[in-house]
Amino acid sequence: MSKTGTVYLIGAGPGDRGLITVKGQKLLQKADVIVYDYLVNTDLLDFAKENAEIIYVGKKAGQKEMSQQRINALLVRKAKRFTTVARLKGGDPFIFGRGGEEAEYLQEKEVSFEIVPGVSSVSAVPAYAGISLTHREFTSSFTVVTGHENPSKGKSNIPWEALSQIGTIVFLMGVKNLKKNMLKLMGAGKSPDTPVAVITWGTYPVQTTLTGKIANISDLVNKRKDITSPGIVVVGEVVNLREKINWYESAPLFGKTVLVTRPKKQSESFINLLEAKGARIISFPTIEIAPPKSFQALDSAINSISSYDWIIFTSVNGVTAFFKRLRELSKDIRVLYGAKIAAIGDITSQAVKNMGINVDLVPEDFRAEGLIKLFKKHNVNDTKILLPRAKIARDLLPQTL
Protein backbone atom coordinates (compact mmCIF):
# COMPACT_ATOMS: atom_id res chain seq x y z
CA MET A 1 0.00 0.00 0.00
CA SER A 2 1.07 3.60 -0.55
CA LYS A 3 2.27 5.59 2.38
CA THR A 4 -0.75 7.15 4.10
CA GLY A 5 -2.13 7.56 7.55
CA THR A 6 -4.23 4.76 9.01
CA VAL A 7 -8.02 4.74 9.08
CA TYR A 8 -9.39 2.90 12.12
CA LEU A 9 -12.93 1.60 11.68
CA ILE A 10 -13.99 1.73 15.33
CA GLY A 11 -17.13 0.28 16.85
CA ALA A 12 -18.50 2.86 19.29
CA GLY A 13 -20.83 0.41 20.99
CA PRO A 14 -24.63 0.62 21.20
CA GLY A 15 -24.97 3.93 23.05
CA ASP A 16 -23.83 3.72 26.66
CA ARG A 17 -20.47 5.50 26.50
CA GLY A 18 -18.98 3.00 28.94
CA LEU A 19 -19.38 0.22 26.38
CA ILE A 20 -16.69 1.42 23.98
CA THR A 21 -13.64 -0.85 24.01
CA VAL A 22 -10.38 0.19 25.66
CA LYS A 23 -8.63 0.09 22.29
CA GLY A 24 -11.32 2.24 20.71
CA GLN A 25 -11.04 4.84 23.47
CA LYS A 26 -7.24 5.02 23.18
CA LEU A 27 -7.49 5.57 19.43
CA LEU A 28 -10.00 8.38 19.91
CA GLN A 29 -7.57 10.06 22.31
CA LYS A 30 -4.78 10.10 19.72
CA ALA A 31 -6.82 10.61 16.53
CA ASP A 32 -6.09 13.62 14.33
CA VAL A 33 -9.52 13.31 12.71
CA ILE A 34 -12.73 11.71 13.99
CA VAL A 35 -15.49 10.93 11.48
CA TYR A 36 -18.64 9.82 13.29
CA ASP A 37 -22.19 8.62 12.61
CA TYR A 38 -25.67 9.54 13.83
CA LEU A 39 -25.99 6.67 16.30
CA VAL A 40 -22.68 7.40 18.05
CA ASN A 41 -22.96 8.78 21.58
CA THR A 42 -21.42 12.24 21.24
CA ASP A 43 -20.08 12.01 24.80
CA LEU A 44 -17.35 9.82 23.27
CA LEU A 45 -16.05 12.90 21.45
CA ASP A 46 -14.89 14.20 24.83
CA PHE A 47 -11.98 11.76 24.48
CA ALA A 48 -10.70 13.69 21.46
CA LYS A 49 -7.57 15.77 21.82
CA GLU A 50 -8.01 19.54 21.68
CA ASN A 51 -6.82 20.04 18.10
CA ALA A 52 -8.61 17.03 16.59
CA GLU A 53 -10.84 17.66 13.58
CA ILE A 54 -14.33 16.27 14.22
CA ILE A 55 -16.63 15.58 11.27
CA TYR A 56 -20.26 14.45 11.45
CA VAL A 57 -21.46 12.28 8.57
CA GLY A 58 -24.59 10.85 10.17
CA LYS A 59 -27.42 9.32 8.21
CA LYS A 60 -30.92 9.79 9.58
CA ALA A 61 -34.12 8.83 7.82
CA GLY A 62 -35.95 11.77 6.28
CA GLN A 63 -33.00 14.14 6.48
CA LYS A 64 -30.36 15.22 4.01
CA GLU A 65 -27.35 13.00 4.42
CA MET A 66 -23.82 12.53 3.15
CA SER A 67 -23.74 9.69 0.65
CA GLN A 68 -21.62 6.61 1.30
CA GLN A 69 -19.49 7.49 -1.72
CA ARG A 70 -18.68 10.91 -0.26
CA ILE A 71 -17.87 9.37 3.12
CA ASN A 72 -15.49 6.91 1.46
CA ALA A 73 -13.75 9.71 -0.43
CA LEU A 74 -13.54 11.79 2.75
CA LEU A 75 -11.73 8.99 4.60
CA VAL A 76 -9.17 8.70 1.82
CA ARG A 77 -8.53 12.47 1.74
CA LYS A 78 -8.02 12.64 5.49
CA ALA A 79 -5.75 9.58 5.51
CA LYS A 80 -3.49 11.29 2.95
CA ARG A 81 -3.15 14.33 5.22
CA PHE A 82 -3.15 12.89 8.74
CA THR A 83 -1.54 10.01 10.63
CA THR A 84 -4.56 8.71 12.55
CA VAL A 85 -8.14 8.85 11.28
CA ALA A 86 -10.85 7.43 13.54
CA ARG A 87 -14.00 6.32 11.71
CA LEU A 88 -16.44 5.96 14.59
CA LYS A 89 -19.50 3.83 13.88
CA GLY A 90 -22.38 2.80 16.12
CA GLY A 91 -22.31 -0.75 17.50
CA ASP A 92 -19.88 -2.93 15.56
CA PRO A 93 -18.66 -1.65 12.17
CA PHE A 94 -19.08 -5.06 10.54
CA ILE A 95 -22.65 -5.74 11.70
CA PHE A 96 -25.06 -3.74 9.53
CA GLY A 97 -22.62 -0.83 9.79
CA ARG A 98 -21.33 -0.72 6.20
CA GLY A 99 -17.85 -1.12 7.61
CA GLY A 100 -17.12 -3.81 5.06
CA GLU A 101 -17.89 -1.42 2.21
CA GLU A 102 -15.61 1.24 3.65
CA ALA A 103 -12.80 -1.27 4.22
CA GLU A 104 -13.11 -2.45 0.60
CA TYR A 105 -12.88 1.11 -0.68
CA LEU A 106 -9.83 1.87 1.46
CA GLN A 107 -8.16 -1.30 0.18
CA GLU A 108 -8.85 -0.29 -3.43
CA LYS A 109 -7.34 3.15 -2.81
CA GLU A 110 -4.31 1.62 -1.06
CA VAL A 111 -5.07 3.30 2.24
CA SER A 112 -3.93 1.57 5.42
CA PHE A 113 -6.79 0.58 7.73
CA GLU A 114 -7.57 -1.46 10.83
CA ILE A 115 -10.82 -2.81 12.25
CA VAL A 116 -11.64 -2.23 15.93
CA PRO A 117 -14.72 -4.34 16.73
CA GLY A 118 -17.36 -2.85 19.01
CA VAL A 119 -20.02 -4.11 21.39
CA SER A 120 -22.97 -4.79 19.12
CA SER A 121 -26.47 -3.58 19.80
CA VAL A 122 -27.59 -7.09 18.77
CA SER A 123 -26.74 -8.45 22.21
CA ALA A 124 -26.21 -5.32 24.32
CA VAL A 125 -29.62 -3.71 23.82
CA PRO A 126 -31.63 -6.84 24.72
CA ALA A 127 -29.33 -7.32 27.72
CA TYR A 128 -30.12 -3.78 28.93
CA ALA A 129 -33.81 -4.64 28.55
CA GLY A 130 -33.40 -7.76 30.69
CA ILE A 131 -33.61 -10.20 27.76
CA SER A 132 -31.10 -13.01 27.29
CA LEU A 133 -31.00 -14.03 23.62
CA THR A 134 -30.24 -17.64 24.52
CA HIS A 135 -31.38 -19.62 27.54
CA ARG A 136 -31.20 -23.33 28.30
CA GLU A 137 -34.92 -23.51 29.01
CA PHE A 138 -36.01 -21.66 25.86
CA THR A 139 -33.55 -21.68 22.96
CA SER A 140 -29.93 -22.38 22.10
CA SER A 141 -29.79 -20.19 18.98
CA PHE A 142 -30.70 -16.77 17.67
CA THR A 143 -30.76 -15.08 14.28
CA VAL A 144 -30.08 -11.44 13.43
CA VAL A 145 -31.97 -9.85 10.56
CA THR A 146 -32.13 -6.32 9.25
CA GLY A 147 -35.57 -4.86 9.73
CA HIS A 148 -35.00 -2.50 6.83
CA GLU A 149 -33.59 -4.18 3.72
CA ASN A 150 -31.98 -2.22 0.91
CA PRO A 151 -35.00 -1.04 -1.14
CA SER A 152 -32.97 -1.13 -4.36
CA LYS A 153 -32.76 -4.94 -4.21
CA GLY A 154 -36.43 -5.31 -5.13
CA LYS A 155 -36.82 -8.86 -3.83
CA SER A 156 -36.30 -9.76 -0.17
CA ASN A 157 -33.41 -12.08 0.64
CA ILE A 158 -34.82 -13.02 4.04
CA PRO A 159 -35.88 -16.71 4.22
CA TRP A 160 -39.08 -16.14 6.20
CA GLU A 161 -40.09 -19.82 6.39
CA ALA A 162 -36.72 -20.82 7.84
CA LEU A 163 -36.69 -17.77 10.08
CA SER A 164 -40.04 -18.70 11.61
CA GLN A 165 -38.46 -21.90 12.97
CA ILE A 166 -35.68 -20.06 14.86
CA GLY A 167 -35.94 -19.74 18.63
CA THR A 168 -34.97 -16.06 18.98
CA ILE A 169 -35.05 -13.48 16.20
CA VAL A 170 -33.49 -10.02 16.45
CA PHE A 171 -34.53 -7.34 13.95
CA LEU A 172 -32.11 -4.41 13.81
CA MET A 173 -33.62 -1.12 12.64
CA GLY A 174 -36.92 -2.86 13.17
CA VAL A 175 -39.43 -0.16 14.16
CA LYS A 176 -40.37 1.32 10.77
CA ASN A 177 -41.31 -2.01 9.17
CA LEU A 178 -42.57 -3.68 12.34
CA LYS A 179 -46.08 -4.47 11.10
CA LYS A 180 -44.83 -5.74 7.75
CA ASN A 181 -42.24 -8.03 9.35
CA MET A 182 -44.66 -9.44 11.92
CA LEU A 183 -47.16 -10.26 9.17
CA LYS A 184 -44.45 -12.06 7.22
CA LEU A 185 -43.52 -14.12 10.29
CA MET A 186 -47.13 -15.14 10.88
CA GLY A 187 -47.53 -15.90 7.20
CA ALA A 188 -44.51 -18.19 7.42
CA GLY A 189 -46.05 -20.11 10.32
CA LYS A 190 -44.78 -18.32 13.43
CA SER A 191 -47.34 -18.39 16.24
CA PRO A 192 -49.13 -15.04 16.65
CA ASP A 193 -48.82 -15.51 20.43
CA THR A 194 -45.01 -15.46 20.32
CA PRO A 195 -43.67 -12.77 22.73
CA VAL A 196 -42.13 -9.65 21.19
CA ALA A 197 -40.15 -6.76 22.68
CA VAL A 198 -39.53 -3.44 20.96
CA ILE A 199 -36.57 -1.58 22.49
CA THR A 200 -35.80 1.98 21.41
CA TRP A 201 -32.68 4.01 22.21
CA GLY A 202 -31.25 0.93 23.89
CA THR A 203 -28.52 1.33 26.55
CA TYR A 204 -29.24 5.08 26.78
CA PRO A 205 -30.93 6.52 29.89
CA VAL A 206 -33.98 7.23 27.69
CA GLN A 207 -34.32 3.57 26.73
CA THR A 208 -37.94 2.48 26.26
CA THR A 209 -39.13 -1.13 26.12
CA LEU A 210 -42.59 -2.27 25.05
CA THR A 211 -43.64 -5.92 25.09
CA GLY A 212 -46.49 -7.71 23.40
CA LYS A 213 -47.09 -10.54 20.96
CA ILE A 214 -46.54 -10.90 17.23
CA ALA A 215 -50.26 -10.42 16.64
CA ASN A 216 -50.64 -7.13 18.54
CA ILE A 217 -47.22 -5.50 18.94
CA SER A 218 -47.70 -3.19 15.94
CA ASP A 219 -50.97 -1.84 17.33
CA LEU A 220 -49.38 -1.33 20.76
CA VAL A 221 -46.51 0.65 19.22
CA ASN A 222 -48.91 2.84 17.23
CA LYS A 223 -50.56 3.91 20.48
CA ARG A 224 -47.25 5.13 21.93
CA LYS A 225 -45.52 8.34 20.90
CA ASP A 226 -42.30 7.43 22.70
CA ILE A 227 -41.54 4.37 20.56
CA THR A 228 -39.37 5.81 17.79
CA SER A 229 -36.30 4.79 15.84
CA PRO A 230 -33.61 3.68 16.45
CA GLY A 231 -35.07 0.45 17.71
CA ILE A 232 -34.50 -3.28 17.99
CA VAL A 233 -37.20 -5.92 17.90
CA VAL A 234 -36.72 -9.22 19.73
CA VAL A 235 -39.05 -12.12 18.94
CA GLY A 236 -39.12 -15.28 21.03
CA GLU A 237 -39.94 -16.85 24.39
CA VAL A 238 -36.82 -15.27 25.93
CA VAL A 239 -38.71 -11.96 26.01
CA ASN A 240 -40.58 -13.29 29.05
CA LEU A 241 -37.29 -13.27 31.01
CA ARG A 242 -37.61 -9.50 31.21
CA GLU A 243 -40.15 -9.84 34.02
CA LYS A 244 -37.42 -11.28 36.26
CA ILE A 245 -34.16 -9.69 35.11
CA ASN A 246 -35.11 -6.16 34.05
CA TRP A 247 -32.14 -4.59 35.82
CA TYR A 248 -31.35 -1.40 33.86
CA GLU A 249 -34.79 0.20 33.79
CA SER A 250 -35.21 -0.64 37.48
CA ALA A 251 -32.32 1.60 38.56
CA PRO A 252 -33.40 4.23 41.14
CA LEU A 253 -32.73 7.23 38.89
CA PHE A 254 -33.79 5.68 35.58
CA GLY A 255 -36.03 8.07 33.68
CA LYS A 256 -34.69 11.08 35.60
CA THR A 257 -32.71 13.88 33.96
CA VAL A 258 -30.04 15.71 35.95
CA LEU A 259 -28.48 19.00 34.85
CA VAL A 260 -24.84 19.26 35.99
CA THR A 261 -23.47 22.81 35.95
CA ARG A 262 -19.91 22.18 37.11
CA PRO A 263 -17.03 22.19 34.61
CA LYS A 264 -16.79 18.80 32.90
CA LYS A 265 -13.31 17.98 34.16
CA GLN A 266 -14.45 18.44 37.76
CA SER A 267 -17.80 16.72 37.51
CA GLU A 268 -16.75 13.44 35.90
CA SER A 269 -16.80 11.34 39.08
CA PHE A 270 -20.16 12.84 40.12
CA ILE A 271 -21.61 12.19 36.67
CA ASN A 272 -20.38 8.59 36.79
CA LEU A 273 -22.18 8.06 40.10
CA LEU A 274 -25.44 9.47 38.72
CA GLU A 275 -25.19 7.42 35.54
CA ALA A 276 -24.58 4.27 37.56
CA LYS A 277 -27.97 4.90 39.16
CA GLY A 278 -29.63 5.22 35.75
CA ALA A 279 -29.87 9.01 35.40
CA ARG A 280 -29.69 10.87 32.13
CA ILE A 281 -27.05 13.59 32.43
CA ILE A 282 -27.01 16.95 30.70
CA SER A 283 -23.64 18.59 31.23
CA PHE A 284 -24.05 22.36 31.08
CA PRO A 285 -21.10 24.16 32.70
CA THR A 286 -22.16 27.61 33.87
CA ILE A 287 -18.71 28.84 34.86
CA GLU A 288 -15.32 28.77 33.20
CA ILE A 289 -12.12 28.34 35.16
CA ALA A 290 -9.56 30.79 33.80
CA PRO A 291 -6.45 32.52 35.17
CA PRO A 292 -6.80 36.12 36.41
CA LYS A 293 -6.12 39.00 34.05
CA SER A 294 -3.31 40.04 36.38
CA PHE A 295 -1.24 37.92 38.76
CA GLN A 296 0.00 40.99 40.64
CA ALA A 297 -2.00 40.42 43.83
CA LEU A 298 -1.30 36.68 43.97
CA ASP A 299 2.38 37.13 43.17
CA SER A 300 2.69 39.73 45.91
CA ALA A 301 1.10 37.34 48.41
CA ILE A 302 3.33 34.43 47.37
CA ASN A 303 6.47 36.55 47.53
CA SER A 304 5.58 37.55 51.10
CA ILE A 305 4.13 34.17 52.07
CA SER A 306 6.22 33.93 55.23
CA SER A 307 4.18 36.79 56.74
CA TYR A 308 0.92 34.78 56.70
CA ASP A 309 -0.31 32.76 59.67
CA TRP A 310 -3.09 30.90 57.80
CA ILE A 311 -3.79 29.92 54.21
CA ILE A 312 -7.41 28.97 53.49
CA PHE A 313 -8.33 26.93 50.41
CA THR A 314 -12.02 26.86 49.57
CA SER A 315 -11.96 24.73 46.41
CA VAL A 316 -9.89 22.36 44.32
CA ASN A 317 -9.65 25.10 41.70
CA GLY A 318 -8.02 27.39 44.24
CA VAL A 319 -5.52 24.71 45.22
CA THR A 320 -4.62 23.97 41.61
CA ALA A 321 -4.22 27.62 40.63
CA PHE A 322 -2.22 28.55 43.73
CA PHE A 323 0.36 25.78 43.45
CA LYS A 324 0.65 26.22 39.69
CA ARG A 325 1.55 29.87 40.21
CA LEU A 326 3.91 28.91 43.04
CA ARG A 327 5.87 26.72 40.62
CA GLU A 328 5.81 29.39 37.91
CA LEU A 329 7.52 31.73 40.38
CA SER A 330 10.24 29.08 40.90
CA LYS A 331 9.07 28.32 44.43
CA ASP A 332 7.89 25.11 46.09
CA ILE A 333 6.04 23.96 49.22
CA ARG A 334 9.01 24.72 51.47
CA VAL A 335 8.04 28.40 51.49
CA LEU A 336 4.78 27.50 53.28
CA TYR A 337 6.47 26.09 56.37
CA GLY A 338 5.31 28.87 58.69
CA ALA A 339 1.61 28.89 57.82
CA LYS A 340 -1.24 26.70 58.99
CA ILE A 341 -3.56 25.33 56.32
CA ALA A 342 -7.36 25.21 56.34
CA ALA A 343 -9.53 23.64 53.64
CA ILE A 344 -13.27 23.55 53.03
CA GLY A 345 -14.34 20.04 52.12
CA ASP A 346 -12.63 16.66 52.03
CA ILE A 347 -11.94 16.90 48.31
CA THR A 348 -10.22 20.26 48.70
CA SER A 349 -8.30 18.89 51.67
CA GLN A 350 -7.15 15.90 49.62
CA ALA A 351 -6.04 18.20 46.80
CA VAL A 352 -3.79 20.03 49.29
CA LYS A 353 -2.44 16.74 50.64
CA ASN A 354 -1.65 15.67 47.09
CA MET A 355 0.71 18.63 46.97
CA GLY A 356 2.62 17.16 49.91
CA ILE A 357 1.14 19.33 52.67
CA ASN A 358 -0.93 18.32 55.68
CA VAL A 359 -4.13 20.23 56.41
CA ASP A 360 -4.62 21.61 59.92
CA LEU A 361 -8.31 22.46 59.80
CA VAL A 362 -11.30 21.03 57.89
CA PRO A 363 -14.84 21.96 59.02
CA GLU A 364 -17.54 19.28 59.22
CA ASP A 365 -19.88 21.65 57.39
CA PHE A 366 -18.30 22.04 53.95
CA ARG A 367 -19.22 25.72 53.61
CA ALA A 368 -17.77 29.07 54.59
CA GLU A 369 -20.17 29.08 57.55
CA GLY A 370 -18.62 25.87 58.84
CA LEU A 371 -15.10 27.26 58.70
CA ILE A 372 -16.16 30.51 60.39
CA LYS A 373 -17.73 28.52 63.21
CA LEU A 374 -14.55 26.48 63.61
CA PHE A 375 -12.31 29.56 63.56
CA LYS A 376 -14.23 30.98 66.51
CA LYS A 377 -12.57 28.29 68.61
CA HIS A 378 -9.15 29.54 67.53
CA ASN A 379 -7.62 32.86 68.39
CA VAL A 380 -7.30 34.52 64.99
CA ASN A 381 -7.06 38.07 66.29
CA ASP A 382 -4.08 39.88 64.84
CA THR A 383 -3.37 36.98 62.48
CA LYS A 384 -2.72 37.37 58.79
CA ILE A 385 -4.80 35.12 56.54
CA LEU A 386 -4.32 34.39 52.84
CA LEU A 387 -7.47 33.41 50.94
CA PRO A 388 -6.72 32.41 47.32
CA ARG A 389 -10.10 32.02 45.64
CA ALA A 390 -12.19 32.62 42.55
CA LYS A 391 -13.29 36.12 41.61
CA ILE A 392 -16.99 35.18 41.89
CA ALA A 393 -16.69 33.57 45.33
CA ARG A 394 -18.94 34.78 48.15
CA ASP A 395 -17.72 37.64 50.36
CA LEU A 396 -18.93 36.04 53.60
CA LEU A 397 -15.61 34.47 54.58
CA PRO A 398 -13.27 37.47 54.10
CA GLN A 399 -15.79 39.91 55.58
CA THR A 400 -16.39 37.80 58.70
CA LEU A 401 -12.75 36.96 59.34
Q: Is 264 helix (H, G, I), strand (E, B) or coil?
A: helix
Q: Is 34 helix (H, G, I), strand (E, B) or coil?
A: strand
37 tagged catalytic:
yes
Residue from 23, 30, 43, 59 carrying the catalytic annotation: 59
190 tagged catalytic:
no
Q: Provide the phi-psi class of 130: left if phi over 0, else alpha when psi is between -120 and 50, else beta.
A: left
Which residues, 6+ apart, have CB-to-CB distance to 39 below 8 Å?
12, 15, 58, 90, 91, 230
Which residues, 6+ apart, have CB-to-CB distance to 242 below 8 Å?
129, 130, 131, 197, 209, 211
Strands (E), 91-229: 112-116, 142-146, 168-172, 195-200, 208-213
Residue from 16, 32, 78, 173 carrying the catalytic annotation: 173
Residue from 16, 32, 37, 92 carrying the catalytic annotation: 37
d(CA 314, CA 368): 8
Phi, psi of 327 (to 5 degrees): -70, -35
43 tagged catalytic:
no
d(CA 187, CA 159): 12
Neighbours of 156 (CB within 10 A): 9
Report the catalytic residues.
Answer: 37, 59, 173
